[in-house]
Chain A
Amino acid sequence: MTAPAHAPAPAPATSGQLATFRLDGDLYGIEVEHVQEVLRSQQLTRVPLAPTAVAGLINLRGQVVTAIELRERLGRPPRPEGTDPVVIVVRLHGEAVSMLVDSIADVVDVDAADFEAPPDTLEGQARDLIRGAYKLHGQLLLALDVQKAVSA
């Protein structure tokens, strides 16, 4: 990392496919190659004393995988009662980690030309985690830095 964190970074605008999901009304995307699988809500085993973003552990066919609550990670309000999260399992450096989101959406082809760095008004935790936005028809697709997002 040569550029300081808060400089208007020469955004890593990449074309390609993003797996998208919804979280608190917004549309987010992560590189499709990171995604291992998407699961319905799973039984979570909470981990006392863990960072708040750690929602718990899930049993992924015998493998124990940490689940990160992305709402907490992005500083959003907790998911309303009675709605079940969707689990996106991502594989990073050979290790599986999962993220809890509201719902899963399509896989979208994005063009680097539509990319723009996050607005200066974006603050807090979210700023570190959102690489920028792709301007799609009618809405913005926020590109999530999956690496940072799961390293709670």
Chain B
Amino acid sequence: MDGLDDIVEEFLVESHENLDQLDSDLVALEQDPNSRERLSSIFRTIHTIKGTSGFLAFNRLEEVTHVGENMLSRLRDGELALTPMRTSVLLRMVDTVRALLTAIEASGGEGGVEVADVVAAITAAMEDAPAPAAIPAPRAEAPAKAPAKAAAKAPAKAAVKTTAAKAPAKATTAKAPAKKTTARKPATRRAATTPAASATGPQDDAVADVLADELPEGANAVMPEPTVEKPAAPAPAADQADAETPSGGGDGQTRRGVADSTIRVDVDLLDELMLLVGELVLTRNQIVQNVARQTDTDLIRASQRLNLIASELQEGVMKTRMQPIDHIWSKLPRVVRDLGIQCGKSVRLEMEGKDTELDKTLLEAVKDPLTHLVRNSVDHGIEAPEARKKAGKPTEGVLTLRARHESGQVVVEVADDGAGIDPVKLGEKAVQRGLVTPDALTRMSPTDILQLIFLPGFSTAAAVTNVSGRGVGMDVVKTNIEQIGGTIEVESDAGVGTVCRLRIPLTLAIVPALTVECAGDRYAIPQISLQELVSLDAEKAANAVEEVGGAQVYRLRGELLPLVRLTDVLGLTSERHDGHVVIAVLRSEGRRFGLVVDRVINTEEIVVKAVGGQMKAIGLYSGATVLGDGTVALILDVQALARRALRAETNERQESQKAAAHAAAASETERQRMLLAAIGGGRRVAIPLDTVTRLEQVRTDAVEKVGNREVVQYRGAILPIVRLDRHLGAYGETDREVLEVIVYADHGRSVAIVVEEILDIVDGEAAVRSDIDDLGLLGSAVLGDKVTELLDVRAAILAADPAFYSSPAPTTPDGVPASLLEV
């Protein structure tokens, strides 16, 4: 059975169920021969089996069901009346079908089950001829056929076949050991069945002899000549046959058949079970928490058992709802093929991790978004063959679907090796559509820009094609994925390909979450968004939490992580006054941010409870849950939080930048935030933070030359570089692989200032300045106990790009950095 195809297996399960129904239907039909409804139902069942068997190339099964169907259709249409004889014949047909199914289940093929005389009997019954007269004729044929087939197949089957061939009830013969003998069979047939059944049933070596003895005798009694010769050939193999052929009964006891090992269960029932298990898990949590404070060892032991059993039960119930992702993937090859032809592209679909399982409800929910992503990749991602050839890629594009489990989530990727998404084009489009301001765009990293495709009203397709671009865009995909608590992000390398990555929770009902405290209340953060936790003690926090233009950031392994204080978002006041900073690093829509909370409590499995409409309207909570101690905690909607907080932060930041500019212009002694950088030769330079747009790292080998100026390609634009060490006459190391770069952008133009190392961000005190005025410097000051040079940013920028300030005239007075710098 290992060799059985999934399709065949499904067919068997379904057919067995249908056949049981058929038996009772047919008997009921005998009582009430005029029931159209029953007839139609029987007809449909047989029709289904016929259709599928034809499709799966089970010819004999098809043959039997075909004549049966003929008869049924005539019965249904009233052309024939249902007589007891016809019912018998139909029941025989059902038995034969069952025997065939058993054979298929056992060996993967139709085995030795003969159908010819059932077919003949049905045909005869249709013609209204008396059955007994019709039977001998086909029976004469049957043996002749059997040996021929036997030769082709395994000798094992030949034995069964010959056994079967001798009796009119051969169908029953094959089935007899496993299934009950139906009482409806005529007595003569039963007599013939019995020896055959006993011959195939037992497993001992005597079988061979029994077969040899029985067969000629039985055959002689019923059969014409040809069969008599047969037993000799199959007999030697007969004991082997018993071991190999499950339909012979040898295997029947040790292994349940396909149909017996599965049952269908209403999904609602599973849902209910899941809910109950969720409640059980909660109660378990409460008990375990309480017991932890007890000293009674028996109680503690019992609670540990409860803990274990509840977890296993939860896992078990979750498993009942799990299905391999292949269920939805299996439809995609067709989609890809058809679409490929339609678009004139040749695409190969590869799948990795087909067996990855996830909750059925989630599977359903992911189906459409996934199909959409696949369509998108074929339609927009993979280029036409000629374009691929030009780009030096094989003409056949590869679309790869990957699924895997990763830290309690399922990660599904749709990757293509197509043209990729150009962040520059994408950004332009977004600006065109008014989705972002050009100003905001310049501040975004390429990854951030890519995520813009998820904004409503965005479609990068130049033309609306038949395939995609029908208004169902990536925003819908995103909404759908977020509805089930998942996340989506996109990665793309122009020219190399695009990867859409979905992260989906394993199940909806029970969510692993981090509980945190903020202003005295507890909140739950789904683990799916959580990347890591950072805890800073007061001393460290004072240095490590820095500000970029008024917005707090933390340097997490060299990258600036914007910080969002949960208290600020919620409009509360933190109860933590000791200066410690606890940061939950969260990811949303491909962006990372740090959520500052008062303290981290625990990780817990929580059961998501719906909250009333008023709560949903706030748009910050995805639900609520009851924690181990019985208190209610709100579940933070990280996506919404990110959207709200990050946008607000950006606005605030712009405001504060403006404010800072005004303030700086107004007062010379105003404190200013300075970025400290080393430029080599032990020299330190301070650069006003307001003029820093971003800190980046650029690989040295990415630096190219235009004339005598150095540039790098950055987000599709040419970014002029000024090396501060050379600009200021210091000599730093020149053979570094990675350059630390301060990017300054204004009015759509950017320059990069290369420094040796970013040191710190400090409050600059304007008062302590000397006016040692060197080239490119404004002066110097003591910052962080060291003499630090103040960079003339304007001069440095002009050194890199002489046209920086001239081309688009600076319109907003407070946007001009020069006014900032003349302090």
Instruction: Give residues in A with beta carbon < 8 Å to B.
Output: 43, 45-51, 54, 56-59, 62-64, 66, 95, 97, 151-152
Contacts and interface: CB of A to CB of B under 8 A. Distances in A.
Contacts of B282: 62
18 contacts: A43-B631, A45-B521, A45-B632, A45-B634, A46-B521, A47-B615, A49-B570, A49-B618, A51-B614, A54-B614, A56-B632, A57-B611, A57-B615, A57-B634, A58-B632, A62-B279, A66-B614, A151-B614
Interface stretch (B124-132, B412-420, B427-435, B619-627): B619-627
Contact of B611 (A43, A59, A66): A66
A66 B634 contact: no
Nearest to A53: B614
B618 A63 contact: no
Interface string B592-633: 000000000000000001111011001011001110001111
Rank and list the top 6 A-B pairs by shortest CB-CB distance, nearest first: A48-B570, A45-B632, A64-B609, A57-B632, A64-B624, A66-B612
Interface string B553-575: 00000000000000000111000
Interface string B279-319: 10010000000000000000000000000000000000000
A64 B621 CA distance: 13
A151 to B, nearest CB: 8
Nearest to A51: B614
Nearest to A152: B614
B634 A49 contact: no
B642 to A, nearest CB: 16
Given A45-B634, A48-B571, A64 B614 contact: no
Nearest to B624: A64
Interface in B630-681: 630-634
Contacts of A63: 609
B631 A59 contact: yes
A93 B253 CA distance: 55
Interface of B: 279, 282, 521, 570-572, 609-612, 614-615, 618, 620-621, 624-626, 630-634
A47 B636 CA distance: 11
A50 B282 CA distance: 26
A64 B571 contact: no
Contacts of A54: 614-615
Contact of A64 (B570, B572, B626): B626
A62 B626 contact: yes
A57 B570 CA distance: 16
Contacts of A66: 611-612, 614-615
A151 B625 CA distance: 22
A43 B329 CA distance: 48
Contacts of A64: 609-611, 624-626, 632
A50 B632 contact: no
Nearest to B519: A48
B626 A48 contact: no
Contact of B624 (A48, A57, A152): A57
A45 B615 contact: no
Nearest to B623: A64
Contacts of B279: 62
A64 to B, nearest CB: 4
Contacts of B626: 59, 62, 64
B772 to A, nearest CB: 53
B609 A47 contact: no
B770 to A, nearest CB: 50
A61 to B, nearest CB: 9
A48 B572 CA distance: 8
B217 to A, nearest CB: 73
Nearest to B644: A49
Contacts of B614: 50-51, 54, 66, 151-152
B436 to A, nearest CB: 26
A49 B521 CA distance: 14
Contacts of A46: 521
A94 to B, nearest CB: 12
A152 B612 CA distance: 11
Of the listed residues A49, A63, A66, A151, the one surrounded by the most CB atoms of chain B closer than 10 A to its CB is A49
A59 B571 contact: no
Nearest to B608: A64
